Amino acid sequence: MLRRTLVALLAASPAGAAFAQGSDLFGQKPIVKAVLEGDDEKVRQALLKNENPNQTANNGTPLLIIAVQSGHIPVVDVLLKGGAVIDAIDREGYTALMRAAEKNDVDIVEILLRRNAATRPQGRQGQTALMIAAGRGNAEIARLLLEKKADPNARDFTGRTALTYAKQSNRNSVEAVLRRAGGKE
């Protein structure tokens, strides 16, 4: 009896309607679940069934950013080939490139830059991917970003530049890369 009541309630609710339309109990479509699981083949199959690669998870995060944060390179590739917007932002105003810099993930940064990810967007606090890389001490990511014309003198909302982030974090190797690129405090 309880089971029948639960099934009837689910069928009448928005969650139940979503479930009936191919979503899970929490309203997530198969492509979202596949991205969360890091299953590139399921993502590919969902895209072949005309799923939108630019959907967001229940928390509003674009699927590409979820794949970047999880370090799922094959899923990142499939989403990009499927038409995911490379410079979509999450709730903090971060792009996939900014999240990859935050994770110190050189491989994903290279993939995104090869696909022409913008290097100049700023998050809600004004940080760029270069500032994030500088603060994390990743000279290789900083160099890659500078090669793609990241602005070494962009300022966040408090007036700090990437060089300031590098100095505050005692990141001498990044500081040297930024100074060679004309970075100022």
For residue 56, what are the β-bridge partners?
62
**For residue 107, what pLDDT is reported?**
98
**For residue 29, what pLDDT is reported?**
85
Q: How far apart are CA 31 and CA 28, in angstroms?
A: 8
pLDDT per residue of the chain (185 residues) written in tens, 0 to 9: 444 333 334 444 444 433 334 444 456 788 999 999 999 999 999 999 999 999 999 889 999 999 999 999 999 999 999 999 999 999 999 999 999 999 999 999 999 999 999 999 999 999 999 999 999 999 999 999 999 999 999 999 999 999 999 999 887 899 999 999 998 88
User: How many beta carbons lie within 10 A of that of residue 3, not counting itself?
Assistant: 7
Spelled out in words, what is the top-level CATH class assigned to the domain 87-185? Answer: mainly alpha
Query: What tokens appear for 33 in the block?
Result: 């679940």
**For residue 93, what pLDDT is reported?**
94
Find out whether 177 and 139 touch, Cβ atoms under 8 Å. Answer: yes
- Amino acid residing at 91: R
Q: Model pTM? A: 0.84
Angle value at C-alpha 51, between 94 and 48, nearest 5 degrees: 120
